[in-house]
Structure 1
């Protein structure tokens, strides 16, 4: 089964701004530039995990999901094919670009691309943060988590849970926010899907750091750099993450947090929360006037 969120790729006309935003605010390390001029960022010894490519508009291009080895990847892809999912092998150039040994991809019912990989390239002992930072919670837990926007939670659960095999962690169910959270390792969730009728998109990427002081410093640096803070400091009900949300140069958000719980499938029971936060996470004025990520109108396609 899927082991972790390995990487994400986004297109943006403001990709160059990530050279400073990604390092001086987020504290990521710089990876090698892509052949197309892409900015690549590191959070651990993986060669890169965040890629921001040049593009005419902000767009989520792909998410990458890693497997322990090529045998597990091959077995998983065969199971998808037997379930009637159209699986496309990756090219040699795509593998080289993503920094992996093997790659195949599928699309969800609304056209969002998910890549399944093995053999992610690593350079042990080489990660160095872009600013003073105790480090990121990555490595065995992967990059962090992504929250995708979908028009229908039931259909999304049928695809991500029943077909792709993500395990439900829990739900948030309130009048204006309906979200399902899924895990594939000990991180409370590596994937979440939020329902926005008629829309598809990418809400946020969560990066978890090793200390609460790193979160506070990140908040100060975001304000100093003019990165709009969309939700103030708060703590979530489900994963107990203490975090804030800021707008990136490319329309999606970063949740920057500390202290997420680790789940154990032997004892974990999925629950339903009627509110997303124990305290805080209040919308700022920028949060009230900013779209919730990269959005476009939903158009169903064949997965």
Structure 2
């Protein structure tokens, strides 16, 4: 007797938008429009929105003190997948809040729901994006790569990587693409890359090996977006430097997804990766692997000072005393690390 496979939302989910809380609207406006080259919509009071394509909103900046990413918005391709995710969350006793009409309007979506995510990063799900009324005005000639695989990815750091991986597997049927082992400033770090569709990863989870510390202040270590042409990536790199914004890592190529990219420093402190030409996963042939080091070449740190190092050390030390909520009811148990 053969068993029926459990229903899955894998392939029907993608990263649709990111919500940031900040008081630095002027700096973010320059960063998004002049440095990165995104379309800026600043018509609403206390709200700044960036577009990458015809969707009304891909990045929502709301006024507040966090200077951090506060929510991830996940698009479900159909109402059935939306209901499956809601059922999973509520079945484990995790409260779900229906988004208000104003919440949905700001995000440019229909049918919005919100629930808790690991380390205070709220998860929001929606089914239909609203299409913008005005033409896209972006400083990238070839455009940004979005489509069915979403806007890119986020990378997060954690003291409890297995539970965080279990969360995204339980809620969105995320699959492990591969691992990277890296040594940063003498500290060994393992990074797990999770995909929810053909994009190599929508979430990367980094953790210090065998040490309960998290050296990153913000909930998200970096946000990634992708351009369609190499020249757009290199020109964005030049604009970031010419605009006076900090550069975290220069241009380089990753070992696992082969993406060429650079990492800029956002006004709120987390990093912003602009990438080009990552590989696309073929589900029929893909096998997870482990890579040594994040880069084949490049990605050299730029402009890091001793003060930056000390701040990072202080953040890591402080994290020893900080409780990290991984939403245990949804984090799974016994998740194999492969």
* 1:262 and 2:274 matched: no
Q: Alpha carbons of 1:302 and 1:20: their partners in 2 closer, same or farther (altered >3 Å)?
A: closer
Q: 1:302 & 1:258 partners in 2: Cα distance?
A: 32
* Aligned counterpart, 1:107: 116
The root-mean-square deviation of aligned C-alpha atoms, in Å, is 2.2
Q: Alpha carbons of 1:277 and 1:287: their partners in 2 closer, same or farther (altered >3 Å)?
A: farther
| Alignment size in residue pairs | 299
The more displaced of 170-179 and 59-68 is 170-179
Task: Note if contact 1:149-1:203 (Cα within 8 Å) is conserved in structure 2.
Answer: yes
How far is the alpha carbon of 1:27 from its aligned partner? Answer: 1.0
* Aligned counterpart, 1:45: 54
Task: Note if contact 2:155-2:203 (Cα within 8 Å) is conserved in structure 1.
Answer: yes
1:128-167 superposed matches below 5 A: 128-129=137-138, 131-167=139-175
How far is the alpha carbon of 1:125 from its aligned partner? Answer: 8.3
Task: Note if contact 2:263-2:273 (Cα within 8 Å) is conserved in structure 1.
Answer: yes
Residue 181 (structure 2) aligned to one of 138, 161, 173: 173
Q: 1:53 & 1:8 partners in 2: Cα distance?
A: 11
Question: Following TM superposition, where does structure 1 have runs of at least 4 consecutive aligned residues deviating by more than 6 angstroms?
Answer: none
The more displaced of 210-219 and 75-84 is 75-84
Unaligned runs of 5+ in 2: 1-8, 328-338
* 1:277 and 2:301 matched: no
Task: Note if contact 2:181-2:189 (Cα within 8 Å) is conserved in structure 1.
Answer: yes
Q: 2:182 & 2:30 partners in 1: Cα distance?
A: 37
* Aligned counterpart, 2:264: 246
Task: Note if contact 1:83-1:163 (Cα within 8 Å) is conserved in structure 2.
Answer: no
Residue 207 (structure 2) aligned to one of 195, 199, 211: 195
How far is the alpha carbon of 1:105 from its aligned partner? Answer: 1.7
Q: CA-to-partner distance for each residue in 1:18-68, whole Å, 9 max, x for gaps?
A: 222211111111235444x21100001100101122222412211100000
Task: Note if contact 2:159-2:324 (Cα within 8 Å) is conserved in structure 1.
Answer: no
* Aligned counterpart, 1:3: 13
Q: Alpha carbons of 1:229 and 1:301: their partners in 2 closer, same or farther (altered >3 Å)?
A: closer
Secondary structure, counterpart of 2:304 in structure 1: helix
* Aligned counterpart, 2:196: 184
Q: 1:248 & 1:163 partners in 2: Cα distance?
A: 29
Residue 210 (structure 1) aligned to one of 216, 224, 228: 228
Task: Note if contact 1:62-1:114 (Cα within 8 Å) is conserved in structure 2.
Answer: yes
Secondary structure, counterpart of 1:51 in structure 2: strand
Q: Alpha carbons of 1:154 and 1:209: their partners in 2 closer, same or farther (altered >3 Å)?
A: same
TM-score, normalised via structure 1 length? 0.91
Q: Alpha carbons of 1:41 and 1:20: their partners in 2 closer, same or farther (altered >3 Å)?
A: same
Q: 2:63 & 2:193 partners in 1: Cα distance?
A: 31
* Aligned counterpart, 1:21: 31
1:62-77 superposed matches below 5 A: 62-77=71-86
* Aligned counterpart, 1:299: 323
How far is the alpha carbon of 1:109 from its aligned partner? Answer: 3.9
Residue 99 (structure 2) aligned to one of 90, 93, 96: 90
Q: 1:43 & 1:258 partners in 2: Cα distance?
A: 15
Q: Alpha carbons of 1:33 and 1:286: their partners in 2 closer, same or farther (altered >3 Å)?
A: farther
Q: 2:135 & 2:198 partners in 1: Cα distance?
A: 25
Unaligned runs of 5+ in 1: none
Task: Report which of the two structures shows the higher radius of gyration computed on alpha carbons.
Answer: 2
Secondary structure, counterpart of 1:110 in structure 2: helix
